[in-house]
């Protein structure tokens, strides 16, 4: 209870007061249901993130009357943001910019080897970076609002929940209730970071990716808990800008990704200063009188308990879909009770035919911005008669923006073997040294590519995995190749662009099966 | 060792019938010499129809052979006896290929049908080498190494004639020494300069005083090149390829003269030859050019900072050099006779040019230098350049520290004895015409790389061509080098990557009304915080409307264009269409993803500029 009292003076106080406001609002809403007449729309989108906005804009483009209801519930730490959803505010955009800040740190070091004379000391100002990143994000928020306005999409900054199959009520910051009804409703509320609520102190003292990009001051010495891509990306850029950073992981890194690649990713991070506590699980977070956080954890390997002191603890242990406060049961929309995601079919339709779900909130979909955007657009086109094309969720490329980027598309080696059998899979692989690494003599031990193919000629490409600089840029084009049904032979017939890293992909010639050495040779 | 088809062999000692045992041993030795010294040895009788058929077969294969007509030598009977002992075959024709006894007429034809004959022929030993490659650049080395992998005896002759300024370098050719490698590294140095500026916006703090040290950069780059030179030599040695640092010149169809630095001449014979001598920068042919100007042959190892520089020519070499020199903080002017990046998409070329202008490079268009005078010696000195308008009598003068010529390259084909063996070249540009298997008009002489007529002058193309050529010559492969849809990237400060047709060429080939061009300007995420312009980077694809909107041209101006273009080039190999682009999910946030969301067509006339966000 003492902790609670302390918390009330801290950030949680803000959180509590907001909750109260919200509660009052809901009560008000209950009173209002009978009163006003709902505003009518052809399409109502709940959630103004990448998927929702794309769907709304496309529908408006097709001449429909569209509304978007968006509301950002502040994080337990009190962080909130504008229109645009996770990607723009607390995801892809700020993380790639902070990743870039970290890369620039590496470039400053390289520059010396390329003849640039930069005087020491070289320091990094979190404040300056964060402000620049936040300003950019705010300009994007603004841009999204303008776009909605331009396309005559009605935007409501309200927290929405279902009243019935066609009606949604929303409460704004001041507690005012609005009723909206629509022929078609799209749920695109996304997800939010998970807190390990069972760990004492986790919610009070920990932050998540919802907060890190909006911190005004440097997080200082940071413990990142989890080994998801969010965890590794954050730990990567924090290390890169010079912070003492530790990753605590329970089991494997980047679950669901190719495991050989994943361990190369962490190996690279380790060799560049990120500490890893493997097989460890936190059990308690305590605030010390100094203001620092003391974390207690259990080391599963030794069975022993250990403690450490950090300025910041960042939870990156997964995300929870935002479905709990939607009153989905009032509309009859089914969720998967295991993970609370909305169950959808190939048309993105839920258990209620005129209610749809796209993006991170939908069951079984890749949690990626471009898939949500495309799915939203195609959904609007189907709903309003422009096309009948379904979203194709196969061979979706993605990139993990760790300090050494990891781009991939198609199957991991494990998946390919599980699907086709070891004897039918041929893996071509190579280590390589980016030309730009030579002059500053950067370590290229983890620059590695593998292409997973069927063994039978013409050796259809099943998956491509690229670890190295600019992996995102490299992977994009090859993703198309895989979509086109490229074979190993066709990729090999492609002439390289010299000197690039991506040309290494079209030069892959050593199969794992051959047992030949895939490491870099002189030329 | 050369011999026109059907050369007559002569047994040097006359009168060998009824020989004593010694003489018979002598005859056996001489016959063995004939068998071992000739790639194809036919023992025949001039009137024998089977013998004639065999000779015709070899002629039709274009293979040199050597004949001993038993009926036309004095000791023909003894020869036939000894041959029987050697080969266990009494009759003629009696054929040996590369020391191996093939048999008579029927067996030879059978061997031809089964492919055995070709195999035997490939195991040539009549010459010092199975393959002699002239030129140790990307193409030559790749061909030599692959041939050695296939078990052949291979020699590489490589010799760098010093530039007029005295620059020379090690093994590896243009790409490694004075091309792709050093230019990309200097490009990187310039990009890092930009990164230093960006970094402050991303929160990095350090002294405002940042200087660039040319000598430190050049030394680092030259060290890397030195290590590459070394590793190339090592690889050749590991693969058992003989490397000779000497200038190669044909003296006979199968014989080459190698002259080393000291002027010592050595002669080597080879069954097959690959010419891979590449190109060297051209000079203007005006007063003072060879004395005072440098070229890309000199720039990358220049021991001093070039200072205020005039780049002559707007080839990709010219613009790349201008770009990184400006990026390193130098005052750069480019003088251009006509268009930028001739042969590339001109809309893209102009965009590349305007970005260079944004970077502070001055362009002097429609002018060409007429004289270069040295005002002051030094490192660098001071040069006065007089240039004349291409459209009128106007002349302008400029004063520079360095004048870099980048007006084109000429093939190194005129001083390698090609005329002696009858290999045809295009007299205008010195390029060598070849057929689709890289064969010149002289069947045993092949050519690859930059000296080919009408083929892209790119390292990876030469490497691919060289490797495939070796596999066809010695590995029984039929795969030809595909010169279509070769991607490339111009490493100007803002990189320009492309694959397939330029818009002009596409219109010429497919007609404007059959094309749809999709395009957009875009703002890389990394540029936003850095505060760089939001309407500079540009993506364009050209589609054939009547072929399923197949992508026939891909063009990208933006950071990392090289890395991005590669994968799309692979996709074009697999028949990329606009629909496939639409169906592909982008990787967010990257520049490459812009191609998955192209919506605006040029024909619509809609605005492609980016608004605030």
Place of tokens 């089977």: B50
CB nearest A497 (choices: B489, B584, B593):
B489
Residues 6+ apart with CB under 8 A from B75: B11, B15, B16, B17, B19, B27
Domain that holds residue B72: 21-122
Q: Provide ipTM, 2 decimals.
A: 0.90
- In the predicted model, is pLDDT for residue A209 greater than 50? yes
Place of tokens 């000429």: B410
CA geometry: angle A213, A216, A220, nearest 5 deg: 80
In a domain, B483, yes or no: no
pLDDT range class, residue A9, cuts 50, 70, 90:
very low
Residue B31 corresponds to which tokens in the numbers above? Answer: 């016959």
- In the predicted model, is pLDDT for residue B6 greater than 50? no
Other CB atoms within a 10 A radius of the CB of residue B167 amount to 19
CB nearest B212 (choices: A115, A241, A436):
A115
pLDDT at B19: 59
A87 three-state secondary structure: helix
Burial class (CB in 10 A: 0-12, 13-18, 19+), A465: buried
Query: Which residues in chain B are contacts of A129 at CB distance < 8 A?
Result: 202-203
CB nearest A485 (choices: B220, B224, B574):
B574
B100 touches chain A (CB under 8 A): no
Q: What HEC string does B426-494 produce? A: CCCCCCECCCCCCECCCCCEEECHHHECCCCCCHHHHHHHHHHHHHHHHCCCCCCCCCCCCCEEECCCC
In a domain, B489, yes or no: no
Do residues A111 and B188 lie in contact, with contact meaning Cβ atoms separated by under 8 Å? no
Q: How far apart are CA A72 and CA A140, in angstroms?
A: 16
pLDDT at A3: 42
Residue B601 has what DSSP assignment? B
Residues 6+ apart with CB under 8 A from A4: none
Beta carbons of A116 and B192 less than 8 Å apart: yes
pLDDT range class, residue B1, cuts 50, 70, 90:
very low
> The domain spanning residue B79 has which CATH number?
3.40.30.10
Do residues B448 and B472 lie in contact, with contact meaning Cβ atoms separated by under 8 Å? no
Which residue numbers of A are catalytic? Answer: 498
Is B238 found in the same domain as B141?
Answer: yes
Q: How far apart are CA A4 and CA A12, in angstroms?
A: 9
Among chain B residues, CA nearest to A366:
B585
Is B248 found in the same domain as B139?
Answer: yes
CB nearest B189 (choices: A115, A368, A481):
A115
Tell me what the mean pLDDT of segment B120-144 comes to. Answer: 89
pLDDT, tens only, A265-315:
999 999 999 999 999 999 999 999 999 999 999 999 899 999 999 999 999
Q: How far apart, in Å, are the Cα atoms of B298 and each of A354, B167, B380?
A: 71, 6, 13
Residue B86 corresponds to which tokens in the numbers above? Answer: 């050697």
A292 three-state secondary structure: coil
In a domain, B486, yes or no: no
- In the predicted model, is pLDDT for residue B4 greater than 50? no
- In the predicted model, is pLDDT for residue A327 greater than 80? yes
pLDDT range class, residue B539, cuts 50, 70, 90:
very high
In a domain, B12, yes or no: no
Beta carbons of B204 and A108 less than 8 Å apart: yes
CB nearest A477 (choices: B203, B460, B567):
B567
pLDDT range class, residue B501, cuts 50, 70, 90:
very high
Residue A164 corresponds to which tokens in the numbers above? Answer: 């019935």
- In the predicted model, is pLDDT for residue B64 greater than 90? no
- In the predicted model, is pLDDT for residue A7 greater than 90? no
B585 touches chain A (CB under 8 A): yes
Strand duo A191-193 + A304-310: pairing: unpaired
pLDDT at B359: 95
Is B269 found in the same domain as B357?
Answer: no
Place of tokens 């300009």: A139
In a domain, B192, yes or no: yes
Of A242-256, A350-364, B91-105, B118-132, the one with minimum mean pLDDT is B118-132
Last residue of a domain, one of B360, B380, B406: B406
Is B448 found in the same domain as B428?
Answer: yes
Chains A, B: CB contacts under 8 A, how many? 298
B188 touches chain A (CB under 8 A): yes
Tell me what the mean pLDDT of segment A262-267 comes to. Answer: 98
Of B525, B600, B518, the closest CA to residue B555 belongs to B518
- H or E segment to which residue A169 belongs: strand A167-171
Percent of chain B having pLDDT more than 90? 79
Phi and psi for B186 in degrees, rounded to 5?
-70, -35
Which residue numbers of B are catalytic? Answer: 588
Beta carbons of B185 and A146 less than 8 Å apart: no
Beta carbons of A470 and B560 less than 8 Å apart: yes
- In the predicted model, is pLDDT for residue B582 greater than 60? yes
- In the predicted model, is pLDDT for residue B37 greater than 90? no
- Pick the residue with more confidence: B118 or A95? A95
Beta carbons of B593 and A396 less than 8 Å apart: no
Measure in Å the smallest separation between the Cα of A444 and chain B Cα atoms.
Answer: 15
Is B431 found in the same domain as B377?
Answer: no
pLDDT at B124: 54
- In the predicted model, is pLDDT for residue B45 greater than 70? yes
Q: What share of chain B is helix, strand, coil (3-state, %, to 5)?
A: 35, 25, 40
> The domain spanning residue B378 has which CATH number?
3.50.50.60
To probe the interface with B, which of A433, A473, A488, A508 has the most B CB atoms within 10 Å?
A: A473
- In the predicted model, is pLDDT for residue B189 greater than 70? yes
Is B302 found in the same domain as B247?
Answer: no
pLDDT, tens only, A449-470:
999 999 999 999 999 999 999 9
Query: Which residues in chain B are contacts of A481 at CB distance < 8 A?
Result: 567, 570-571, 573-574
Query: Which residues in chain A are contacts of B207 at CB distance < 8 A?
Result: 118-119
Burial class (CB in 10 A: 0-12, 13-18, 19+), A488: buried
Do residues A409 and A396 lie in contact, with contact meaning Cβ atoms separated by under 8 Å? yes
Beta carbons of A497 and B220 less than 8 Å apart: no
pLDDT, tens only, B363-390:
999 999 999 999 999 999 999 999 999 9
Is B394 found in the same domain as B429?
Answer: no
Longest dimension (CA), chain B: 105
B239 touches chain A (CB under 8 A): no
Annotation-wise, does A230 bind a ligand? yes
Other CB atoms within a 10 A radius of the CB of residue A345 amount to 11
- In the predicted model, is pLDDT for residue B33 greater than 90? no
In a domain, B170, yes or no: yes
Establish whether the linkage from the previous residue to A458 is cis, with ω within 30° of 0.
Answer: yes
Query: Which residues in chain B are contacts of A483 at CB distance < 8 A?
Result: 571, 580, 583-584
Phi and psi for A449 in degrees, rounded to 5?
-130, 140
pLDDT range class, residue A5, cuts 50, 70, 90:
very low
Last residue of a domain, one of B363, B386, B406: B406
Do residues B352 and B490 lie in contact, with contact meaning Cβ atoms separated by under 8 Å? yes
Strand duo A245-249 + A222-225: pairing: parallel
Is B60 found in the same domain as B93?
Answer: yes
Q: How far apart are CA B199 and CA B210, in angstroms?
A: 13
Among chain A residues, CA nearest to B468:
A493
Is B101 found in the same domain as B223?
Answer: no
Which domains does chain A possess? 39-193+320-385 (3.50.50.60), 194-317 (3.50.50.60), 404-511 (3.30.390.30)
B180 touches chain A (CB under 8 A): yes
Q: How far is CA B355 from the centre of its chain?
A: 30
pLDDT, tens only, A161-178:
999 999 999 999 999 999
Q: How far apart are CA B425 and CA A51, in angstroms?
A: 61
pTM metric for this prediction: 0.86
Longest dimension (CA), chain A: 79
Beta carbons of A474 and B564 less than 8 Å apart: yes
Query: Which residues in chain B are contacts of A470 at CB distance < 8 A?
Result: 560, 563
pLDDT at B7: 52
pLDDT at B36: 72
In a domain, B481, yes or no: no
Is B55 found in the same domain as B111?
Answer: yes
Beta carbons of A397 and B529 less than 8 Å apart: no
Chain B stretch 306-335, residues whose beta carbon is closer than 8 A to a beta carbon of chain A: 328
Beta carbons of A501 and B563 less than 8 Å apart: yes
pLDDT, tens only, A48-58:
999 999 999 99
pLDDT range class, residue B471, cuts 50, 70, 90:
very high
Tell me what the mean pLDDT of segment B29-44 comes to. Answer: 82
In a domain, B487, yes or no: no
Is B272 found in the same domain as B139?
Answer: yes
Beta carbons of B196 and A111 less than 8 Å apart: yes
Percent of chain B having pLDDT more than 70? 96
Among chain B residues, CA nearest to A408:
B587
Last residue of a domain, one of B448, B475, B502: B475
Measure in Å the smallest separation between the Cα of A177 and chain B Cα atoms.
Answer: 32
Phi and psi for A26 in degrees, rounded to 5?
-60, -40
Annotation-wise, does A229 bind a ligand? yes
Partners of B384 in beta bridges:
B373, B399
Query: Which residues in chain A are contacts of B181 at CB distance < 8 A?
Result: 435, 499
Beta carbons of A481 and B328 less than 8 Å apart: no
Among chain B residues, CA nearest to A135:
B529
Domain count of the fold of chain B: 4
Is B419 found in the same domain as B276?
Answer: yes
User: What's the mean pLDDT when you consider all of chain B?
Assistant: 92
Residue A199 has what DSSP assignment? S
Do residues B494 and B355 lie in contact, with contact meaning Cβ atoms separated by under 8 Å? yes
């Amino acid at each position: 209870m003492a902790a609670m009292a302390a918390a009330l003076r801290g950030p949680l106080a803000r959180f509590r007061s907001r909750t109260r406001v919200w509660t009052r609002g809901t009560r008000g809403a209950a009173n209002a249901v009978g009163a006003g007449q709902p505003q009518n729309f052809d399409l109502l989108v709940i959630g103004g993130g990448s998927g929702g906005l794309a769907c709304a804009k496309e529908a408006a483009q097709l001449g429909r009357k569209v509304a978007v209801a968006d509301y950002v519930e502040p994080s337990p730490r009190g962080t909130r943001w504008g229109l645009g959803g996770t990607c723009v505010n607390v995801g892809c955009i700020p993380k790639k910019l902070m990743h870039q800040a970290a890369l620039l740190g590496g470039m400053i070091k390289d520059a010396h080897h390329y003849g640039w004379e930069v005087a020491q000391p070289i320091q990094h100002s979190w404040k300056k970076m964060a402000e620049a990143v936040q300003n950019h994000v705010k300009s994007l928020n603004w841009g999204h609002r303008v776009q909605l306005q331009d396309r005559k999409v009605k935007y409501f900054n309200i927290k929405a929940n279902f009243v019935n199959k066609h009606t949604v009520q929303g409460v704004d910051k001041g507690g005012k209730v609005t009723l909206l009804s629509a022929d078609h409703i799209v749920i695109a509320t996304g997800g939010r970071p998970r807190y390990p609520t069972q760990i004492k102190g986790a919610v009070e003292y920990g932050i998540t990716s919802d907060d890190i990009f909006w911190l005004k001051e440097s997080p200082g010495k940071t413990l990142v808990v989890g080994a998801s891509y969010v965890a590794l990306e954050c730990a990567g850029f924090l290390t890169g800008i010079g912070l003492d950073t530790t990753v605590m992981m329970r089991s494997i890194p980047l679950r669901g990704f190719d495991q050989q690649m994943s361990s190369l990713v962490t190996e690279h991070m380790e060799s560049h200063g990120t500490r890893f506590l493997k097989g460890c699980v936190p059990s308690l977070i305590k605030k010390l009188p100094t203001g620092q956080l003391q974390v207690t954890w259990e080391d599963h390997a030794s069975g022993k308990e250990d403690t450490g002191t950090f300025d910041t603890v960042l939870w990156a242990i997964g995300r929870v879909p935002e479905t709990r406060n939607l009153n989905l049961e009032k509309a009859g929309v089914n969720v998967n009770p295991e993970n609370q995601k909305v169950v959808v079919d190939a048309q993105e339709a839920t258990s209620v035919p005129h209610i749809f779900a796209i993006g991170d909130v939908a069951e079984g979909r890749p949690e990626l911005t471009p898939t949500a955007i495309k799915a939203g657009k195609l959904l609007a086109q189907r709903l309003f008669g422009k096309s009948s094309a379904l979203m194709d969720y196969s061979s979706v490329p993605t990139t993990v923006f760790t300090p050494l980027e990891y781009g991939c598309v198609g199957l991991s080696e494990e998946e390919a073997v599980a699907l086709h059998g070891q004897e039918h899979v041929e893996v071509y692989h190579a280590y390589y040294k980016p030309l730009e690494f030579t002059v500053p003599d950067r370590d290229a031990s983890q620059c590695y590519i593998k292409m997973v193919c069927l063994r039978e000629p013409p050796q259809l490409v099943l998956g491509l995995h690229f670890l190295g600089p600019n992996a995102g840029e490299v992977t994009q084009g090859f993703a198309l190749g895989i979509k086109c049904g490229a074979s190993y032979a066709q990729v090999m017939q492609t002439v390289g662009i010299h000197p690039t890293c991506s040309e290494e992909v079209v030069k892959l010639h050593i199969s794992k099966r051959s047992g030949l050495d895939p490491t870099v040779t002189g030329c | 060792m050369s011999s026109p088809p059907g050369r007559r062999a002569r047994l040097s000692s006359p009168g060998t019938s009824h020989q004593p045992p010694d003489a018979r041993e002598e005859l056996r030795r001489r016959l063995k010499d004939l068998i071992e010294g000739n790639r194809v040895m036919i023992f025949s009788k001039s009137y024998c129809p089977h013998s004639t058929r065999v000779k015709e077969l070899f002629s039709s294969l274009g293979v040199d052979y050597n004949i001993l007509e038993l009926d036309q030598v004095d000791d023909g009977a003894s020869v036939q006896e000894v041959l029987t002992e050697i080969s266990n075959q009494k009759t003629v024709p009696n054929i040996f290929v590369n020391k191996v006894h093939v048999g008579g007429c029927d067996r030879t034809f059978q061997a031809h049908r089964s492919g055995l004959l070709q195999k035997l022929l490939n195991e040539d030993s009549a010459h010092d080498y199975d393959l002699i490659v002239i030129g140790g650049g990307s193409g030559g080395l790749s061909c030599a190494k692959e041939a050695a992998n296939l078990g052949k005896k291979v020699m590489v002759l490589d010799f760098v004639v010093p530039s007029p300024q005295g620059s020379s370098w090690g093994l590896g050719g243009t790409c490694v020494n004075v091309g792709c490698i050093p230019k990309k590294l200097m490009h990187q140095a310039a990009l890092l300069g930009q990164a230093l500026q960006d970094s402050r916006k991303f929160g990095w703090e350090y002294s405002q005083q940042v200087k660039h040290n040319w000598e430190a950069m050049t030394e680092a780059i030259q060290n890397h090149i030195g290590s590459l030179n070394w590793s190339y030599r090592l690889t050749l040695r590991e693969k058992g390829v003989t490397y000779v640092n000497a200038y190669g010149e044909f003296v006979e169809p199968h014989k080459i003269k190698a002259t080393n630095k000291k002027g010592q001449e050595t002669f080597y014979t080879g069954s097959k030859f690959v010419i891979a001598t590449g190109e060297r920068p051209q000079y203007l042919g005006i007063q003072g050019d060879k004395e005072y100007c440098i070229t890309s042959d000199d720039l990358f190892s220049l021991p001093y900072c070039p200072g205020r520089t005039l780049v002559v020519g707007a080839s990709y070499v010219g613009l790349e050099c201008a770009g990184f020199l400006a990026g390193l903080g130098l005052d750069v002017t480019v003088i251009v006779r006509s268009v930028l990046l001739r042969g590339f998409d001109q809309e893209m070329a102009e965009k590349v040019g305007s970005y260079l202008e944004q970077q502070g490079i001055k362009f002097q268009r429609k002018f060409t230098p007429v004289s270069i005078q040295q005002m002051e010696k030094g490192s660098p000195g001071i040069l006065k350049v007089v240039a004349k308008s291409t459209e009128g009598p106007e002349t302008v003068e400029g004063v520079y520290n360095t004048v870099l010529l980048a007006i084109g390259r000429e093939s190194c084909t005129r001083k390698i004895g090609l005329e002696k063996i009858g290999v045809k070249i295009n007299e205008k540009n010195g390029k060598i015409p070849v057929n689709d298997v890289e064969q010149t008009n002289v069947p045993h002489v092949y050519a690859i790389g930059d000296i080919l007529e009408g083929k892209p002058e790119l390292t990876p193309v030469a490497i691919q061509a060289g490797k495939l050529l070796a596999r066809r010559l010695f590995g029984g492969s039929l795969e030809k080098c595909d010169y279509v849809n070769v991607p490339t990237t111009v490493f100007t400060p803002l990189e320009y990557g492309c694959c397939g047709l330029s818009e002009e060429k596409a219109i010429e080939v497919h007609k404007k009304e059959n094309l749809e061009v999709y395009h957009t300007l875009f703002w890389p995420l990394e540029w936003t915080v850095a505060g760089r312009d939001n309407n500079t980077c540009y993506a364009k694809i050209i589609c054939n409307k009547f072929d399923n909107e197949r992508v026939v041209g891909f063009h990208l101006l933006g950071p990392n264009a090289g890395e991005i273009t590669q994968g799309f080039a692979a996709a074009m190999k697999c028949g990329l269409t606009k629909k496939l682009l639409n169906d592909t999910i982008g990787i967010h946030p990257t520049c490459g993803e812009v191609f998955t969301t192209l919506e605006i067509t040029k024909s619509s006339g809609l605005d492609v500029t980016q608004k605030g966000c």
